[in-house]
Amino acid sequence: MKTLLKIDNLCVKANKKQILKGLNLKINEGETHVIMGPNGAGKTTLLNAILNNPSFEKTKGQIEFCDCDITNEKTDKIAKLGVFMSFQNPQEIEGISVFNFIKTAKNKQTGENVNYFDLKDELEEKAQILNMREELLTRDLNVGFSGGEKKKDEILQLLSLNPKLAMLDETDSGLDVDAIKIVSRGIKSYRTEKNAILVVTHSAKMAKELEPDFVHILIDGKIVKTGGKAFIDQVEKEGFKNF
């Protein structure tokens, strides 16, 4: 089983405050990992650090992806290697439709001009998986979308771009129970033996729907416990105090 992502002793600052304090993590092909923890523990910081968001300063440690050192690589290069990230609060972008946004991304990804009709058929098929209205494909990116529609749009991008590693930051945020099931179904349809998923969530419902291989508890900048789905029930009943 090939290792996709390996993080060793990662220390990260944001706004001059130390957030991650020696974090270690390894993700192999075919695995789904869920990270849970209290607010301010460093969950979102971890995902941004992997993509080398310049707002987050690495002070120590190393990140490898597909055997390449990406610790200080540029964000666009990391994305081209096959790392995807969805956001807690997807941005609204006027003047570019959902369809054209994805088409441009795929053109950059493949280095070729993607066929319009092939992509249209593909996106319409994937939109059905997500119970996503096809008319949204021609609308400006996320403009006027509900919270649930924005999250479905993010998963539509994931399914179309098909990266090696999907990092999903609180994709459940703002979703009702039915929408969580639909979005989870979309995420699971992405999963194969050759890719991997890293999900940050506060939702026990989302965590259970995804049927993760590993559940990590992140507290005060470190992963303090790693286990299976039983951790989800423990967090749901008791919170994080026993960790």
Predicted confidence at residue 189, as pLDDT, reads 94
Q: Where are the alpha helices (DSSP H) in the chain?
A: 43-50, 75-81, 98-110, 116-129, 147-161, 177-190, 204-209, 230-238
Sheet containing 17-28: which strands, arranged edge to edge?
17-28, 3-14, 56-65, 68-69
Max Cα-Cα span within the chain:
54
**At 198, which helix (H) or strand (E)?**
strand 196-200
Residue among 219, 238, 211 at smallest CA distance from 37: 219
Predicted confidence at residue 152, as pLDDT, reads 94
Predicted confidence at residue 173, as pLDDT, reads 82
| HEC readout, 73-86 | CCHHHHHHHCEEEE
13 assigned to some structural domain: yes
C-alpha to C-alpha distance for 232 and 172, rounded to whole angstroms: 15
Residue type, 65: F
75 assigned to some structural domain: yes
Name 213's Cβ contacts closer than 8 Å, sequence gap at least 6. Answer: 31, 32, 33, 228
243 assigned to some structural domain: no
Structure tokens at 173: 């945020």
Which CATH number is 102's domain given? 3.40.50.300
Per-residue pLDDT of the chain (243 residues; tens, 9 = 90+): 899 999 999 999 998 899 999 999 999 999 999 999 999 999 999 999 999 999 999 999 999 999 999 999 999 999 999 999 998 889 999 999 999 999 999 999 888 999 999 999 999 999 999 999 999 999 999 999 998 999 999 999 999 999 999 999 998 887 888 889 999 999 999 999 999 999 999 888 899 999 999 999 999 999 999 999 888 999 888 888 888
Helix (H), strand (E) counts: the chain? 8, 12
Name 4's Cβ contacts closer than 8 Å, sequence gap at least 6. Answer: 27, 28, 29, 65, 66, 164, 165, 195, 196
Instruction: Specify the number of domains making up the chain.
Output: 1
97-109 b/e (C-beta count within 10 Å ≥ 16 → b): bbbebbbebbeeb
133 assigned to some structural domain: yes
136 assigned to some structural domain: yes
196 assigned to some structural domain: yes
Predicted confidence at residue 191, as pLDDT, reads 96
Predicted confidence at residue 94, as pLDDT, reads 96
102 assigned to some structural domain: yes
Range of the domain at 71: 3-238
